[in-house]
Amino acid sequence: MADQLERTVGLVREIVGPDLLGTYLHGSAVFRPLAPASDLDVLAITRRSLDDPRRRALVEGLLEISGLTPTVRPVELTIVVQSEVRPWRFPPVVDFLFGEWLRDELQTGGFPRPGPLPDLALVLTVALMGDHPLTGPSPAELLDPVPHADLVRASVGEIPELLANLDDDTRNVLLTLARVWTTLVTGEIKTKDAAADWALTHLPPEHRPALVHARNLYLNCHYQDEVWSDELKARVRPHVDEVLARIDHVRQQA
């Protein structure tokens, strides 16, 4: 991880130059050592929006640094312009976003454009919580805190996209739904496995096995080694329906 992190931050510093205000670790790494398939999540804050040549250069460099193998982690780089998120407003605007799920699109010559990204509320909150500068000052010097109501809006807003990916990305969908539920009830953003632990204590026994398996995969398994038995696959949709019902109940009570 250290080599990839150093290369990623070095690439951002080289390409963004004096417009770079700071780079920060976020995601699971701010809470504990990364799980086998966890992304290496980096947030960069800039003075102004990137021009197209810089976007292309970042994509070319990140395609070389990031990967999905036992020895190369997927890198997720999020870049925001400070004036787009301070003072805070919802939905926040992301200036540049790179992740492995975009690889095929980016390899054909495209590059990320600015646009609204509600999920950025979660990214900024975790970066503030972690307070892990890679370059620059503490993130609290550059960012405003995100109101809890906007964390809820961001969390709930990602549910339709999660459900669309249920068959292809089962482990992450189940774990993320557990985290959405946990955030709504507790007001805290937990790691995926910690959110699963919380959810498991609040689910009836018949709806636990799929989430237990997703949690174990997350903690111990690379994506290429992931296996779901037919019995567990049959439990996925009933589990999801139960968690969605719990989420809806919390929202109605708010």
Give me the active site residues, please.
Answer: 76
Residues 6+ apart with CB under 8 A from 253: none
Strands (E), the chain: 20-26, 40-46, 75-81, 93-94, 96-98, 115-116, 133-135
Residue carrying the six token digits 């999920």: 119
Give CA angle at 188 (184, 192), nearest 5°: 90
Residue 100: which of 159, 41, 36 has the closest Cα?
41
Longest dimension (CA), the chain: 55
Count of beta carbons in the 10 Å neighbourhood of residue 157: 15
Bridge partners of 40, per DSSP, are 75
Give me 206's structure tokens.
């018949």
CA distance linking residue 148 with residue 156, whole number of Å: 12
